[in-house]
Structure 1
């Protein structure tokens, strides 16, 4: 790879480069953190190489990010701590938002956001409320952005009908000869297909509006202020596109309410934490209620179940296809993931009356 200092040198950063270190936390893009000294002060930056095997149209990804962050920044101009509330792209010396290295890979640079915490999982009701609040704030800032101006960088990403079509293709081909071993899981997903279409159908029929969606609203993509505990910034904007914001509430509820790891093999440990679920919704609605439609409000809880179902179908499809999409560490890994999603849905169903009653 081209020397990282040379790549950083393509960007318009004032001062002298002091050090660079690799950040191993991400699983898709290559990330580095640099430290510069300018006029006696220290400044840090985040540099990322986009994974073009995942993002096949990286310039469109960057155009979406630039449009969305610029819009959010106009909403923050009056705040003293605005620099930590939205990702800020740094331009290149050629006045562009990204640069290409000698191998043809796209690189971008953000100003580093400091004095914040991140969390790998959710286990606290107060944090759950703050999590929901952060997702609601992100959507509130973008509720007046024309979503049809964004590129579709991953087609039908959360389209349930498309995911079921892929599952049926996997069943028909049975590439890995695993079909007979997953009959119970297939039966569950096929029995739930009609209900799972709720979000997709509502969007296609115009019963919920087209809005900007993040599409990966897990808690590790929220930066929390180290002093106040507020969720101040939503990061990892590579999948920002148009859709229904219920995709984002759904992913928030799916990842935030599960009581075990996504690949837990002991299904007795897998369930839905009802209290965390409710607090996420309350935090979210404390900000979002002023722009949500009645139908969107009515479908928030359902979005958690539907998004869990989408992921379960995707994991099972990949298992039948021979594990070609998701990284695995054991032969049953994708099947284990699919089973945890089923277990989460089943526990949601057991608690559904209580959850919806608390949110009515």
Structure 2
């Protein structure tokens, strides 16, 4: 995952380095002028006129130019010249303009949502314009630091310590999963059941997908493989009632977590969205998690926003992250919804799930 975005960010770093290292013709021209000015400032030795015996007139040096006035006339040039004298260089907005435009285009091609791509490039610009560095420091290091800050700010929106929140919450903790058809909600529930078990939390599964033929069989297979209790009703039953019964079971049997599946739906399916509203009223879940495929790219980002607008979510899980070479959805969803990505599905096994760690993601994107 993120190989495509890694390549784009690496290319951007190189472009900025190349732009920043190009000689500045104005600064180069200023050096001999400065030397001439210094030479002119030295008074010529006086001599005596051989005819009159009177001293020759001494040419008065022109007054030195005022550095403050020069800086006002051309602050970029003045600052560059001053920094060059101390072995430092400055990154200008002009040097960043072309690389940033190219980066924004490439982010869009990498499935990053438009407003998120603009936010990233704007933040990089804010970090870099006017940034100075010692000549012994690589320009690429300066740019990498700015990119890291920009990415971290964008993708860490809403992040919280999921594990601590579950551990500290009053039991049972009820988590409802929603999203469109076929994105891996049921498999994600099974993976989280294993994840909770490894951390000492018991769980019960609830099949709130009462409309899809074969839904009971699918979740029952996972429950059997994981040795978990499952609560189901007949096909066509009330999803809210199923999850409510699972909460009752958890309370009676000291089970820590209720994992409630729901039918896949589009945000435009009014009857199914009404079901989510009823689940909220009847069950009052502690968390509602949106599930979608990382490979869906900007479609996943758009759906996350639409679901959050229609029935507020608390976070997201992206499945098939191992098959997504771009990673644009992972970069975009948190910023667009204001809700964090909590987990990435990375394979077919029950252990193939990992917490979404913004610092780890940034490291992956910027590693050589």
TM-score, length basis structure 2 = 0.24
Where is the helix percentage greater, Structure 1 or Structure 2? 2
Higher RCO, Cα 8 Å, sep 6+: 2
